[in-house]
A and B are shown apart, each in its own frame.
Chain A
């Protein structure tokens, strides 16, 4: 670690299971997107490095996977939806070509024509084709009915019209009107919401086991945001993939996620079931964040804000990174960073110990204004 190095994300631990949605919230610059890009190893390395830890995906530590093999994990294994729909589509290709490329990647891997990620103990055994019953392909099977593509077409190189049919299905899946027209358009002819739908269709068409949605609605204006969010919520119900949903919008996370992680300055400060975290937050930052959110019950007066600003990550404050802004701050907070420890809560006995907070005085948080 040379001069000018800093840890954008540290000590983040979480588990995501198939069919589960984990939400991550936090302010701008708290390391949400870095976390999202670190999982499929999309950070530019160098300059970025993963200094330590493990990213276990279907039994394989992605940190140890050689760079050349990473494309095999991406797409069909870990799919991603980015926050810039305006620039995330190649301006030179029509919608058809963009989605067909994703379908083609998955198709070739399913057929075993190109080497693909298998998962498990011996992850990179390329000698045998992927079994059709693998987790990845069965997870999202329900969303595109099998009958539409001739059974015989599955075992050979598909024709353009067969690809076209499948592209149309995915366009319909993301609720696009008149997909036959949209198919032939260039990205610049589409609105932001449409482009984000195309991006979602591209990610889903690879049938990923883990889908990372990095602020999929942030760059859109509010009405389109709501539409795309409604779509995401419906798709989350239909798609059985594990989903990591990243947002700076508490409302979005509340509506979509099963579990929530609150990030501050590169660390997870509170983690737990969504309902529980929102009902009884156990970290002063979460509490302040919830207070700062606009609410229909508080129509008048100025919004609450959190005093101070996010620390510079190249010189983080000693100890708990929230201590300069914290109402509960005491001397111990300036020593070691508090561990993410289970909090004593009676709210949800079904998941004991799941609700965790990185605060020495978690028990005092409910007493805060």
Chain B
């Protein structure tokens, strides 16, 4: 009885989750960069909303004397043909674009995730759940059979121009991907032995879904979600680029619309900084969330999490001699603690 667990990391055991997070991040610099970038973006967006005067020198439509000025200390990203400050406009768009990313991907995650859980778990043919499951999947297939960008564009025309209708239109085209993803993961997880073991222990079906299946589906879903925020941003900017989502120049700038405006007016050919700044903003945001997604994968999975921590701490050496058997409670105390192990191997192997 000496098969004590693999060498145990004593130092790591007492750590709280925050310091484990820190270790994982330190072991994986790219994820760390992603976390850092998302944090900076988030804090900046918060400052822009709460106290724009701190970091935004000009109003979105405010004209200065410097027309078509290249980047300078006064205007870090330059100005356009009417002397509007590009830096101010890019910064003002940050909270909106981040919000759009979270709103669309978040609602798609909640709607699609819930439907995917139901469709994957209660899919026994011939039951009410089975019928619901099939209905969910057929509706999902119908939505997936349209190219989502074209569908979103068409919906935007129906729902009207502006940020709200565009967000709604993209959300309507976006949730089916989550149904597919979550349902597939649920189908894989629900047949694993530990789900049946939980069932054998008397856990009810609903609790199995919420405690055992959902927890193990969460990790790939959250990772997909963070990566997806970038994709949503690009899609929104594409629709913005076509010019149906947001109006630019206007009181509330948006990166895709900025790109579209300067590209269409032809100024971008002569004054490239007009498009470099909003383009780079989209690029950096998408990159930040992609890196974050990779990092989350490592943190949410207990196996990789431990592996990272292992890499930074030395192991306790495995015990040379078997440790004395602990005196167990009650009736087991009189059992011989050093009973020789007899190997019984007289059986039939088939």
Which residues on A are within 8 Å of B, measured CB to CB? 25, 27-28, 40, 42, 46, 71-80, 82, 84, 87-93, 101-102, 105, 142-145, 148, 169, 172-173, 175-179, 181-182, 184-186, 188-191, 193-194, 199, 202-203, 206, 222-227, 229-231, 234, 238, 247-252, 254-255, 289, 292-296
Contact = CB atoms under 8 A, between A and B. Distances in A.
B303 A186 contact: yes
19 contacts: A42-B200, A71-B204, A74-B199, A74-B200, A88-B196, A90-B194, A91-B302, A91-B303, A101-B203, A142-B331, A173-B328, A173-B329, A189-B6, A191-B5, A193-B3, A206-B202, A226-B345, A249-B348, A250-B347
Nearest to A195: B5
Contact of A194 (B3, B204, B344): B3
A289 B348 contact: yes
Contacts of B198: 90, 101
A105 B200 CA distance: 12
Q: Which of A73, A92, A255 has the most CB of B within 10 A?
A: A92
B200 A293 contact: no
B16 to A, nearest CB: 12
B54 interface: no
Given A230-B1, A238-B332, 18 more contacts: A27-B348, A46-B124, A74-B201, A87-B193, A88-B194, A89-B194, A89-B197, A143-B332, A172-B329, A173-B329, A175-B1, A175-B328, A177-B323, A186-B306, A190-B6, A206-B202, A225-B344, A238-B330
A142 B344 contact: no
A94 B89 CA distance: 49
Interface residues of B, number: 51
A181 B348 contact: no
A185 B8 contact: yes
A252 B329 CA distance: 26
B72 interface: no
A287 B197 CA distance: 35
A260 to B, nearest CB: 13
Contacts of A105: 201-203
B17 interface: no
Interface stretch (B34-42, B159-167, B237-245, B334-342): B334-342
Given A142-B331, A248-B347, A188 B5 contact: no
Contacts of B335: 234
B147 interface: no
Contacts of A189: 5-6, 8, 306
A367 B331 CA distance: 46
A175 B325 contact: yes
B215 interface: yes
B345 A251 contact: yes
Interface in B98-121: none
Given A189-B306, A251-B345, A42 B332 contact: no
Contact residues of B: prevailing secondary structure: loop
Contacts of A234: 332, 335
B213 to A, nearest CB: 10
Most chain-A CB neighbours within 10 Å: which of B197, B303, B343?
Answer: B197
Contacts of B330: 142-145, 173, 238
A143 B332 CA distance: 8
Contact of A238 (B3, B5, B203, B331): B331
Interface string B208-231: 000110011000000000000000
Candidate in B193, B200, B302, B346 with the most chain A CB atoms within 10 angstroms? B200
B350 A190 contact: no
B3 A28 contact: no
Contact of A248 (B125, B202, B328, B350): B350
B125 A46 contact: yes
**Shortest 10 CB-CB distances between A and B: which pairs?**
A75-B202, A249-B347, A251-B346, A80-B200, A74-B202, A27-B350, A87-B193, A88-B197, A193-B3, A75-B201
Nearest to A80: B200
Contacts of B73: none
Contacts of A295: 346
B347 A230 contact: no
B199 A230 contact: no
A72 B202 contact: yes
- Most interface-central of B194, B342, B347 (chain A CB within 10 A): B347
B198 to A, nearest CB: 7
Contact of A252 (B194, B306, B347): B347
B250 interface: no
Nearest to A184: B13
Nearest to B349: A248
B332 A294 contact: no
Nearest to A194: B5
A229 B344 contact: yes
B126 interface: yes
B344 A255 contact: yes
B5 A42 contact: no
A213 B339 CA distance: 23
A309 B325 CA distance: 45
B326 interface: yes
A193 to B, nearest CB: 4
Of B3, B216, B339, chain A has the most CB atoms within 10 Å of the CB of B3
B303 to A, nearest CB: 5
Contact of A185 (B5, B216, B342): B5
Contacts of B343: 222-223, 226
B328 A206 contact: no
Contacts of A255: 344
Contacts of A80: 197, 200-201
A212 to B, nearest CB: 8
A40 B199 CA distance: 10
A183 to B, nearest CB: 10
A142 B200 CA distance: 23
A350 to B, nearest CB: 26
B4 interface: yes
A76 B325 CA distance: 29
B13 A293 contact: no
Nearest to A74: B202
B341 A230 contact: yes
B329 A169 contact: yes
A13 B102 CA distance: 60
B192 interface: yes
B126 A46 contact: yes
A148 B1 contact: no
> Among B8, B194, B339, which residue has the most Cβ atoms of chain A within 10 A?
B194
Contacts of A238: 330-332
Contacts of A230: 1, 339, 341-342
